[in-house]
Amino acid sequence: MKIEDVRHVLVVGAGTMGRQISLQCAMHAYDVTLYDIAPDALDSAKAQIRAFADHLVTWGRLSKKEADAALKRITTTTNARKAAAEADLLSESVPEDPRLKGKVFARFNRLCPSHTIFTTNTSDLMPSTFARQTGRPEQFAAFHFHQLVWESNVVDVMPHPGTSKETMKLLCAFAEHIGQIPIVLHKESPGYVFNAMLNAVLVSALALAVNSIASVEEIDRAWMGVTKMIVGPFGILDLVGLDLAWKIADSGARFTGDKQLRAQAEFLKQYIDKGWLGVKSGRGFYKYTNADKR
């Protein structure tokens, strides 16, 4: 399949990233189907995608006409068969559970056309973990976006050992067609490129807080004061989502038995148990207004 043959994008998962990916593809003239099993998630997604588009118009990134055209290109559905029917490329953004991802890919392998390219937007898992379940491992790779997709316009393109060169070439071309800069990895590696560097900072910041070396606020002040960044490690964790950060720490602790990772997972769990998930819930390590929510 050539890049010219990619016309319809299926986004599986209407969460934080699925919403952004849908709009980014639609903004670049692709027809998009956003699928989720939960009608409420799709209702919320439609409202937020509209809000994203309105913000882009306000910021001068899109004209009103362009925004309206992009929104018309996005359809939502809970019907998997309908969602898969015309898919040329599938982008998966379901929760970070390898068994769940495997089941999702296996289901859509049965429903999608044979030419459909499958991609995963996983933040932490290796695509080889569930490549077999896709039923088309040579047409499968990680294609990982960053928030906000239209601002942090870098996408990691990471193969697993069975990914074909043709698939990698097509995905790099697709990245450019949707306004992204493809960062090509030669092999699987946890955290891709940017996240691998960022994770080292976040783990170090969490260790300082967990071990009572300094407060969350002071750790962020140290980072911001020296780097001149407008947000510190804990502000970044709020943006990422404390539930996702916990899942990564908890999974790492269970896999390695690392006591420090276990302590960090438990530290994050305190906030999650209170419903403080970060920016998306209005509170995490810090409080946020509706204008901050994404």
Q: How confident is the model at residue 96 (pLDDT cuts 50, 70, 90)?
A: confident
DSSP symbols for the chain: --GGG--EEEEE--SHHHHHHHHHHHHTT-EEEEE-S-HHHHHHHHHHHHHHHHHHHHTTSS-HHHHHHHHHTEEEES-HHHHHTT-SEEEE---S-HHHHHHHHHHHHHHS-TT-EEEE--SSS-GGGTTGGGS-GGGEEEEE--SSTTTS-EEEEE--TT--HHHHHHHHHHHHHTT-EEEE-SS--TTTTHHHHHHHHHHHHHHHHHTTSS-HHHHHHHHHHHH--SS-HHHHHHHH-HHHHHHHHHHHHHHH--HHHHHHHHHHHHHHHTT--BGGGTBSSSB--TTT--
Mind listing the pLDDT tens digit for each residue in 26-43? 999 999 999 999 999 999
The Cα 234–Cα 278 span in angstroms is 10
Q: Domain 3-184 class?
A: alpha beta
Q: How confident is the model at residue 244 (pLDDT cuts 50, 70, 90)?
A: confident
More confident residue, 244 or 93: 93
Domain parsing of the chain, residue ranges: 3-184, 194-281
Residue 45 has pLDDT above 60, yes or no: yes
pLDDT at 248: 85
Spatial contact of 242 and 271, defined as CB atoms under 8 Å apart: yes
CATH of domain 194-281: 1.10.1040.10
Q: How confident is the model at residue 293 (pLDDT cuts 50, 70, 90)?
A: low
pLDDT at 123: 87
pTM of the model: 0.85
pLDDT at 11: 98
Q: How confident is the model at residue 289 (pLDDT cuts 50, 70, 90)?
A: confident
Q: How confident is the model at residue 292 (pLDDT cuts 50, 70, 90)?
A: low
Mind listing the pLDDT tens digit for each residue in 196-237? 999 899 999 999 999 999 999 999 999 999 999 999 999 999
Q: Which residues pair with 224 in a beta bridge?
A: none
Using a pLDDT cut of 90, give the percent of the chain over it.
89
Residue 240 has pLDDT above 90, yes or no: no
Averaged pLDDT for residues 255-268? 93
